[in-house]
Amino acid sequence: MSTHDLYTIPAELSTWDVEAAGAARFTWEYDDGRDRMLALYQKGKDKQWDSVKRIDWGLEVDPYNVLGIPDNTIAIHGTPLWDRMDARQRQEVRLHGAAWQFSQFLHGEQGAMICSARIVESVPDLDSKFYAATQTMDEARHAETYARFLQEKVGLAYPINEHLKALLDNTLSDSRWDMPYLGMQVLIEGLALAAFGVMRDITTKPLPKQILAYVMQDEARHVAFGRMALRDYYSQLTETELREREDFVIEGCYLMRDRLRGRETWETIGLNRSEVAEAMECVDRSEYLKLFRSLLFSRIVPCVKDIGLWSPRLQQAYADMGVLDMAGQSLDALMRQDEEIADRLDAERFALEEAERHAEVAETVAMGAES
């Protein structure tokens, strides 16, 4: 089935053309480069995996409760709008909410694949080109994984959100080689990584937990790559150049914050205009979503600070968004946790499978002895 058949809203053209600016840069310097970057490149090679084999696609998913989480995480839960809905409408809210969220993950991963390929093309350092090449493969795998999940398990998809699309457009159409790092590695990947983490930690369903944990294991390396490259480069920039990057970050963070509101889902499930407005008010007032939005900046804010973009005006922008306190988060600790959770999930799964195999063998032997 074509993905276009799954879209709840017409996805317009089958392709979206972005006029990318800037130069493709070759380098004739083939020395060893930076040890830290080459170590990350080696790790990127070592940690490649196959989504067909590593993920247990035989696990069932209830499309009307994809993550297996309580309804009080839904913005309109407990409101007059929710109370007026019948059981079927509430099912549609659950289905469309999950379809929209995972669709944006999918589109973001394709954006990350294109941006990392752009980094290979435009970054001047060979060691960065090497690592970005491994990331391009990672992002292809993530897009493949989310596409399969939507097609086979959810059965519904949404086109790219206008705010995510705008940030990708701004990122790819900028001619400066560091902007794909800043737009993708820091903003889009940072927010996605935090969103994946929240969902990974609250889901009670094994298939989405596997997908989110394994994708996050890769993303932890990607954010480390962006931090390493930009911290080195931004230490050399002038105040004017740094201010231009801060303007980009501020605009991008507002786009990412607004992306989370998901207005199109409420319009798609058949609410009238006043009901959509009522739903959006609930989204803006929801205590759960306020906490969720705050947590989504737990990776972005400390990363922006770490790479050297931390002027009073940028701090004020984060204060206005209510996320300035996220600057104290330890990125290294979060990344280690992401790695460990994926490894632990693998160990638990394979131990269980091994135990099941032993039980089957024992049962077969016992049956043979009885006969």
Q: CA 321 to CA 324: how far, in whole Å?
A: 8
- Cα Rg, the chain, nearest whole Å: 22
**Residue 145 domain flag:** yes
Residue 257 near residue 321, CB atoms below 8 Å: yes
Residue partners of 122: CB distance under 8 A and separation at least 6: 22, 23, 24, 25, 177, 180
Residue 28 lies in a domain: no
At 305, which CATH number?
A: 1.10.620.20
Classify residue 197: in a domain, yes or no.
yes
- Residue 341: predicted pLDDT: 92
Tokens 């990584």 — which residue? 193
Residue 365 lies in a domain: no
Q: Evaluate whether residue 248 is within a structural domain.
A: yes
Residues in the chain with pLDDT < 70? 1, 12-14, 21, 30, 32-33, 353-371
| CA neighbor of 112 nearest in space, from 147, 145, 142 | 142
Most distant CA atoms of the chain, gap in Å: 84
User: CB-based contacts of 345: which residues, under 8 Å, 6+ apart?
Assistant: 209, 210, 213, 214
Q: Is the dihedral of CA 141, 143, 145, 147 positive or negative?
A: negative
Determine the pLDDT at residue 83.
95
Query: Half-sphere exposure (CA, 13 Å, Cβ side) for 39?
Result: 5
Reported pTM: 0.87
Q: Which residues have a Cβ under 8 Å from the Cβ of 244 and sit 6 or more positions away?
A: none
pLDDT value at position 360?
A: 59
Return all residues near 177 (Cβ < 8 A) that are at least 6 apart.
Answer: 22, 25, 119, 122, 123, 124
Number of structural domains found in the chain: 1
pLDDT of residue 103: 95
Domain boundaries, position 145: 3-10+37-333
Residue 70, token pair as written in the block: 């309580």
| Beta carbons within 10 angstroms of residue 335's beta carbon | 20
Confidence (pLDDT) at 141: 97
Q: Is residue 347 part of a domain?
A: no
Domain presence at residue 221: yes
* pLDDT at 4 (0 to 100): 72
Query: What percent of the chain is modeled with pLDDT above 90?
Result: 53
Closest C-alpha to 324, from 337, 336, 310, 334: 310
